Homo-oligomer: A and B are copies of this chain.
């Protein structure tokens, strides 16, 4: 293989162009900091038109002192840098059975890197929360029509006060040591570690504190788990990421030689850290522990397992992660009508010949 003059590079996997949605080629990512060009793109609307020259961030509503921060103000406040994995709650939607409608994400609606910014808490404390504040609503500059409602909506999401005041919930202005790329929220993006990425609002326009639960369509229609196909019984909101793992190598339905193969992948959770990843190559009859890299607080954990296979034939490789709260991936994902939070044990079939 020493005769390869042209390097092969992976590409984002395109799901739609309006709005722009592509997933990360996750099988081919081997860096802990996903470069901008490979970061998955998930949009609800067209990209917003911003005037950066006059950018400011207003915080208002149920606060003592409605305040407007300039970018310069923010840059002067104490910052923190966190390695955070953002996972779309629709990640792996393609795998649900029965199938559900919406973007057919495979394993790549997840990316991670270094986010730097100011804790949202710092700004809320400067504005002064009023007694009785309930939700903190963050509005993005992106807006547009919905297929199910006859109006134009901004992308708006709320956090309950407790999560908004978590010192690791930040208003980020840098990704991997550079200003946040435009398509990922420049100049300011909310980063909510441990929650599905819908909470991490891009292109922040304003922040409003309110004294009752927020009811916008991206809070109460979308990003809600509906356990039933035809009615809304038992619905509950999408928040914390489920424990999950994905096999990066081998690829699905790959043909392999006999011999040694390094099965590898990533694992992540919204609660605690990954405590173990187990691999089965016999449809789950026996499980062996994979080696896991250093525990990650908010990023994904890389893992690998050396598999020596002598016998030709078909194999199903399974990966199953468990987190420090004892949550483990189920055999079958919790089916829900809009297809969120898929986290069944990952499976890749291969043939050794």
CA distance A18 to B311 in the complex (A): 24
List the interface of chain A (C-beta within 8 A of B): 1, 3-6, 8-20, 22, 25, 27-28, 46-49, 99-104, 144, 147-148, 182-183, 251-257, 314, 349-351, 353
Given contacts A101-B255, A255-B147, A257-B147, contact A8 B17 (CB under 8 A): yes
**Given the complex, which residues of B lie within 8 Å of A148, measured CB to CB?**
255, 353
**Given the complex, which residues of B lie within 8 Å of A19, measured CB to CB?**
8
Given contacts A3-B46, A13-B11, contact A104 B182 (CB under 8 A): no
**Given the complex, which residues of B lie within 8 Å of A257, measured CB to CB?**
147
* A8, A13, A20, A102 — most chain B CB neighbours (10 Å): A8
**Given the complex, which residues of B lie within 8 Å of A10, measured CB to CB?**
14, 17
CB pair A251 B16 closer than 8 Å: yes
**Given the complex, which residues of B lie within 8 Å of A314, measured CB to CB?**
101
Given contacts A47-B4, A100-B253, A101-B255, contact A9 B17 (CB under 8 A): yes
A182's nearest neighbour on chain B, judged by CB, is: B6
Identical chains in the assembly: 2
CA distance A90 to B17 in the complex (A): 26
Main secondary structure of the interface of A (DSSP, over half): loop
CB pair A47 B100 closer than 8 Å: no
CB pair A3 B253 closer than 8 Å: no
Extra contacts, 11 of them, besides A11-B11, A101-B349 (Cβ < 8 A), are A4-B46, A4-B47, A4-B49, A5-B47, A6-B183, A8-B20, A101-B253, A101-B254, A103-B253, A104-B253, A147-B353
CA distance A17 to B353 in the complex (A): 20
**Given the complex, which residues of B lie within 8 Å of A16, measured CB to CB?**
251, 254
CB pair B147 A6 closer than 8 Å: no
Given contacts A99-B349, A351-B101, contact A46 B1 (CB under 8 A): yes
A332 to chain B, nearest CB (A): 19
A146 to chain B, nearest CB (A): 9
**Given the complex, which residues of B lie within 8 Å of A8, measured CB to CB?**
17-20
Nearest 10 interchain pairs by C-beta: A8-B20, A11-B11, A3-B49, A10-B14, A8-B17, A101-B351, A4-B46, A101-B253, A148-B353, A11-B12
**Given the complex, which residues of B lie within 8 Å of A12, measured CB to CB?**
11
**Given the complex, which residues of B lie within 8 Å of A101, measured CB to CB?**
253-255, 314, 349-351
CB pair A253 B49 closer than 8 Å: no
**Given the complex, which residues of B lie within 8 Å of A18, measured CB to CB?**
1, 8
A17's nearest neighbour on chain B, judged by CB, is: B8
CA distance A27 to B103 in the complex (A): 14
CB pair A147 B256 closer than 8 Å: yes
A183 to chain B, nearest CB (A): 6
A174 to chain B, nearest CB (A): 20
A309 to chain B, nearest CB (A): 12
CA distance A20 to B317 in the complex (A): 23
> Can you name 11 A-B residue pairings with CB atoms under 8 Å?
A1-B144, A4-B47, A11-B13, A13-B13, A14-B25, A16-B251, A99-B253, A102-B253, A104-B253, A147-B256, A148-B255
**Given the complex, which residues of B lie within 8 Å of A48, measured CB to CB?**
3
CA distance A183 to B14 in the complex (A): 22
A2 to chain B, nearest CB (A): 8
